[in-house]
Amino acid sequence: MTVTTDVKLAVAALASGRLCAIPTETVYGLAASAHDATAVARVFRAKSRPLDHPLIVHVASLDQVSNWITDLPEWAQTLAAQVWPGPLTLVGNRTKLASDAITGGQETVAVRIPSHLVAQQVLQELAEQGILGLVAPSANRFGHVSPTSANHVEVDLGQYLEAHGDLILDGGVCEVGLESTIVLATKDQPVILRLGAITAQDIEQVTGKSVLHTVDGVPRVSGALESHYAPRADVILVTDVSQVLSANSGLLALSQISTPVGVHRLAAPNSVEDFAHELYSALRTGDDLNLKTIYVVPPLGTGLAQAITDRLERAAF
């Protein structure tokens, strides 16, 4: 059996070099011991992920960050203390423990402390056994929509995981629903590499620093490829439903926007937070229904709305 709710089983699997998909507050991650080069290599194979797309190391608590990152600027320490555990990833200068297999040969490493209680339990129990971090990319096929439930993981990777004796730890539906905000923390100023639930405004407020969005020579972020987070159906962004054609199509929009006749309503979230929470699941439902086109009216505004629109533009590309 691949899917379990037994944390001990998951911990034992990870400690013995097997893979285990774990729930986090953002999306499910396909985890492996960050100390085990063979297991890390299998994470890439399971996802069909190119080897030069670096992985995030997940740790249990703040005191473990220095195992992976040599030094963080003061603003990043303030941000970490305020936001972690939570949907934030910091990219810092790597220690020797952060191998080339994890960083894709780069001198920086991405680290995050997830807040999901099940992820916390797994990471803490492993730390007690001397395993100080888990690599965990989103547990989807490379380029596909990230998984926000154990079932999504099973659909994408179940066959591979089953065949190799790997596991999926079911911790329910992910609360945030969008991948973590990634912030480069090697300079005097924060640079956002991927938008997420922790917004530029949050970061400016906490650190007192103004935030940059791009910088020359910044390492690749795979979610920054133009086409990513994509379902099979064509995704078309519209500003109002008069642009929606009913032939074999679906609609994702805030609840106050009504559904044209003959169109399948994929989700009707009540808020921007709900929109993020239901986004990936709605895109996957569109594929389950074999829809040709998924129309989306993205939420307006900055912050989380902007992060949602960013993912949708890549899904639509």
Among 21, 27, 118, 283, binds ligand TXA (CB under 6 A): 27
> Judged by CB under 6 A, does residue 169 bind ligand TXA?
no
> Judged by CB under 6 A, does residue 110 bind ligand TXA?
yes
Residue written as tokens 């900055």? 302
Size of the site for Mg ion (CB under 5 A): 1
Which of the stretches 130-138, 210-218, 273-281, 308-316 binds Mg ion when contact is defined by CB under 5 A?
Answer: 130-138
Among 9, 12, 53, 99, binds ligand TXA (CB under 6 A): 53
- Positions in 137-156 near Mg ion (CB under 5 A): 138
How far apart are CB 137 and ligand TXA at their closest, in Å?
3
Strand ranges inside 146-259, DSSP E: 167-169, 181-184, 191-194, 234-237, 249-252
CB burial of residue 127 (10 Å; 0-12, 13-18, 19+): middle
How far apart are CB 26 and Mg ion at their closest, in Å?
10
Q: CA 74 to CA 91: how far, in whole Å? A: 14
Q: CA 178 to CA 279: how far, in whole Å? A: 8
Q: Which is nearer to Mg ion, 53 or 265 (CB)?
A: 53
The DSSP code for 37 is H
191 binds, among ligand TXA, Mg ion, none (CB under 5 to 8 A by kind): none
The verdict on whether omega for the bond into residue 114 sits within 30 degrees of 0, i.e. cis, is: no
* Phi, psi (degrees; rounded to nearest 5) at 168: -120, 120
> Judged by CB under 5 A, does residue 26 bind Mg ion?
no
Q: Which residues bind Mg ion (CB under 5 A)?
A: 138
